[in-house]
Amino acid sequence: MTTSDHDFDVTVRGGRISTDSKTFEADIGIKDGVIVCIQRNLPPGRCDIDAAGRWVLPGGIDSHVHIEQRSGMGMMCADDFYSGTVAAAFGGTTTVIPFAAQHRGKKIPEVIADYAQLAREKAVIDYGFHLILSDPDEVALTQDLPKAIREGITSLKVYMTYEQLKLSDYQLLDVLALAGAEGAMVMIHAENHDMIRWIATRLLERGHTAPKFHAVAHDPLVEAEAGHRAIVMSRLIDVPVLLVHVAGAETVELIRSAQLLGSKVHAESCPQYLFLTEDNIDLPRVEGAKFCCSPPPRDVRSQEAVWAGFKDGTLRLYSSDHAPYRFDESGKLPNGEATTFKEMANGVPGIELRMPLLFSEGVMTGRLSIQEFVALTSTNHARMYGLSHCKGDIAVGMDADLALWNPEREVTVDTTMLHDNVGYTPYQGKRLRGWPEVVMSRGRVVVQDNTLQVERGSGQYIPRRSPEATLPVKTAAGATRLPALLGLKGKAWPTQ
Ligand code: URP
Ligand code: ZN
Ligand code: ZN
């Protein structure tokens, strides 16, 4: 193409660009929200953005966030689609995939329509939805899910715990078989429900009610057992699974082993498993509730295992699992100071700090390359969730979703600087190096000069394609005979 004056709506000039595979210096020309040219010395656009001294990275994709959602235990998130997406944007994220959560008795098309309307009115960045499935009945499996998947909701989340959400192993197999046939990804919350219930009952009988006992009830073996069971089910019928919010060293190890055996198991972890431990939960009175999520943060050995998992590709997704609950009766403390660890809402906020934490503690310390950072925070999410035709990369034809990071900027985390509606952060006081100063979504400047530049509702719904599985299994071992015998069809799963 020619590059005469004003070919571009926006030119991003003089930055150091990194994708998941290369780093180079160039200008980026943007037209109609799309990257149309990448080369040095481009002419000015109508808007010219100076990126000298900045890293120009793909905008983050946070593929695990709870926004304007009621939890399995019935608590309402503190963030709606406005505050949640504003907070995401200020932290360098330009696409979120929150959940449309089916609670039992609710019809899937209505659930999706309700969330779609909420997001349409408020989101400031682009978004898709996963469907939380709690009731995989005949209508869901034969009609509603295939339709939802074909319309762009190409991933489902299922739970092995929480009384109101959990599926039996039989139901899990039904869902996996359906997902395999339709080309959807199944995200699994893997914790053994009865183990948690059994331990918690005995702890409460002994008067152990404080938040720190949440970590006791959610023992690492609870996660490892359920994770292993999910992997075995995936192997049994040769359908991929994605274990979300992996916390424990043993779970990382069993995922690595399963991948080496040829299992199609993918995995995600989150900031709370890199930067918090169970010691954070051990605070006076109910203060520790601010650090309680499921699975809980574990020990230093597990933190190291998660870092190692990110490094060697065992864990390919770094998401926030932003689950924003206020420190009051609406969320963490339904019974005030008398709230037991079984009653408080599970989850920690992290949508805004997800990327700055990893940039500072990963890239700026040399633990991760800038390309690994891009893969973990953006590109791998696009590939895993069917967005790689438009998101997660800096290349001609891609949406101009960019974040300009200043590696010199030092920030001390304080709740008051954050844009969510939670009122606390587990990372209070942490000193970070590096910050995304300009954030663009489809060529629109969303954040600049520490100010939001776009209107409520200006984000777009992005229907997703089938997950590409361009995150291949590590080796290709023979699948079981069962899919052929039972006539199960797999649609979109290359077996490279
Ligand atoms: O504790 C957590 N992670 N709460 C959010 C819900 C979920 O299971 O992801
Ligand atoms: Zn979960
Ligand atoms: Zn979650």
Give the integer Cα–Cα distance in Å for 476 and 407. 40
Helix axes 169-182, 220-237, angle to 10 degrees: 50
Does residue 316 have its Cβ closer than 6 Å to ligand 1?
Answer: no
Q: What is the pLDDT of residue 73?
A: 84
Q: What is the rounded average pLDDT of the residues 214-227? A: 98
Judge whether 428 and 357 are in contact, CB under 8 Å.
no
Q: What is the pLDDT of residue 484?
A: 74
As a whole number of angstroms, the distance between CA 212 and CA 148 comes to: 40
**DSSP secondary structure letters along 366-377:** TSS-HHHHHIII
Q: Determine, yes or no, domain membership for 233.
A: yes
pLDDT of 492 reads 46
Cβ-based burial of 125 (10 A; exposed 0-12, middle 13-18, buried ≥19): buried
Count how many residues are written for the chain.
Answer: 496
Q: Which residue has the tokens 């992997």?
A: 231
Atom of ligand 1 lying closest to residue 189 CA: 8
Say yes or no to pLDDT of 490 above 70: no
Residue 249 covered by a domain: yes
279: pLDDT strictly greater than 50: yes
294 C-beta closer than 6 A to ligand 1: yes
In whole angstroms, what is the distance from residue 316 CA to residue 373 CA?
Answer: 11
* Residue 273 included in any domain: yes
Is 101 near ligand 1, meaning CB less than 6 Å away?
no
Judge if the beta carbon of residue 7 lies within 6 A of ligand 1.
Answer: no
CB distance 54 to ligand 1 below 6 Å: no
| Mutate which of 158, 245, 272, 290 for ligand 1 pocket (most atoms within 8 A of beta carbon) | 245
For residue 256, count CB atoms less than 10 angstroms from its CB and return exposed for 0-12, middle for 13-18, buried for 19 or more. buried
Q: Which domain holds residue 139?
A: 60-379
Strands 60-65 and 93-101 turn out to be: parallel
d(CA 205, CA 18): 54
Give strand ranges (E) for 32-68.
Answer: 34-39, 47-50, 55-58, 60-65
Across the chain, what does the average pLDDT equal? 94
CB of residue 66 inside a 6 A radius of ligand 1: yes
Phi, psi angles (nearest 5°) of residue 12: -105, 115
Structure-derived torsion over alpha carbons of residues 44, 50, 55, 58, reported in degrees to the nearest 10: -50
pLDDT digit string, tens, across residues 161-216: 999 999 999 999 999 999 999 999 999 999 999 999 999 999 999 999 999 999 99
The verdict on residue 327 lying in a domain is yes
What pLDDT, on the 0 to 100 scale, is given for residue 460? 98
Residue of 353, 327, 351, 323 lying closest to 431 (CA atoms): 353
Ligand 2 mean position, distance from CA 240 (Å): 18
Residue 283 within any structural domain of the chain: yes
C-beta of 346 in contact with ligand 1 (< 6 A): yes
Closest CA to 197 of 161, 223, 248, 245: 161
Give how far Cα 171 sits from Cα of 100, 177, 184, 208, 487, Å.
Answer: 19, 10, 16, 34, 18
Q: Where are the alpha helices (DSSP H) in 264-377?
A: 271-275, 300-312, 354-358, 370-374
Please state whether beta strands 47-50 and 55-58 pair in parallel, antiparallel, or not at all (unpaired): unpaired
245 lines ligand 1 (CB under 6 A): yes
**pLDDT per residue as tens digits for the range 225-277:** 999 999 999 999 999 999 999 999 999 999 999 999 888 999 999 999 999 99
For 361-380, the pLDDT digits (tens) are 999 999 999 999 999 999 99
> How many CB atoms neighbour CB 437 within 10 A?
17
Tokens matching residue 19: 């994708």
Distance CA 221, CA 251 (A): 8
> Would the CB of 60 count as within 6 Å of ligand 1?
no
417 vs 468, higher pLDDT: 417
Kind and range of the H or E run holding 266:
strand 265-269
3-state DSSP assignment of residue 385: coil
Q: Report the C-alpha gap between 460 and 119 in whole angstroms.
A: 9
User: Which helix (H) or strand (E) segment is 329 a member of?
Assistant: none
- pLDDT bin (cut points 50, 70, 90) of residue 1 is very low
In angstroms, what is the span from residue 409 Cα to ligand 3's centroid?
30
Can you point out the beta strands (E) in 343-430?
A: 402-412
Residue 17 φ/ψ, nearest 5 degrees: -90, 135
What is the tens place of the pLDDT at every residue in 287-332? Answer: 999 999 999 999 999 999 999 999 999 999 999 999 999 999 999 9
Please work out whether the CB of residue 323 comes within 6 Å of at least one atom of ligand 1: yes
Check whether 278 has a pLDDT greater than 50: yes
d(CA 427, CA 51): 29
Q: For residue 335, how many other CB atoms are within 10 A of its CB?
A: 11
The residue whose C-alpha atom lies closest to atom 9 belonging to ligand 1 is 321
**Best of 321, 344, 354 to mutate for ligand 1, by most ligand atoms within 8 A of CB?**
321
Residue 55 lies in a domain: no
The pLDDT score that the predictor gives to residue 436 is: 98
pLDDT at residue 494 greater than cutoff 60? no
Local confidence band at 495 (pLDDT 50, 70, 90 cut-offs): very low
- Strands 130-132 and 93-101: what pairing? parallel
Per-residue pLDDT of 459-485, as tens digits, reads: 999 999 998 655 554 444 445 677 777
Residue-wise DSSP of 168-183: -HHHHHHHHHHHHHHT
Token output for 64: 């695990």
**pLDDT value for 134:** 98
| CB 129, CB 157: distance < 8 Å | no
Taking the CA of residue 244 as reference, the ligand 1 atom at the shortest distance is 9
> And the tokens for 130?
């996963």
Report if residue 52 sits inside a domain.
no
Is 222 a residue whose pLDDT tops 80? yes
Overall domain count for the chain: 1
Tell whether 490 is covered by a domain: no
Reading the block at residue 319, the tokens are 């998401």
Distance 265 CA to ligand 3 centre (A): 18
User: pLDDT above 90 covers what percent of the chain?
Assistant: 91
**For position 358, which CATH number holds?**
3.20.20.140
Residue of 131, 187, 244, 294 with the most ligand 1 atoms within 8 Å of its CB, for mutation: 294
DSSP letter for 242, please.
E
